[in-house]
Amino acid sequence: MTPQEALRYHVTGAIERGEAVAIVERPVSQRQQFMDALAMAYRDLFATNSEYAYSAARISPEALALKMTNGLQTGAANKDGEGIKRACKACGIKYTYTAIRAFLIH
């Protein structure tokens, strides 16, 4: 959840208690956690790995992460690639289609 999204859940009584802003944390879905980890991996790979130069010139890390996450969930994307490996490791899941899909639906 981004800070802007968290701020949407402002608690009305916070100002009355003298607080400038109150934030209610909402749990991040596993799907969002995976997409965030994947976007972070793509940002690093775009900057450091020449194999990702083509993608880096045409799509943002966040857009690619969304596209790949949707594809993995539906079975339309290939999991082979350093970005997916890094996202699986960051999320603590096995690098298999079964584990990835199970993680994404929760």
pLDDT digits (tens, 9 = 90+) for 43-96: 999 999 999 999 999 999 999 999 999 999 999 999 999 999 999 999 999 999
Among 76, 91, 86, 97, CA closest to 31:
91
User: Would you say how long the chain is, in residues?
Assistant: 106
pTM of the model: 0.75
Radius of gyration of the chain (CA): 17
Measure the CA angle with vertex 68, ends 66 and 73; round to 5°. 95
State pLDDT tens for residues 48-58: 999 999 999 99
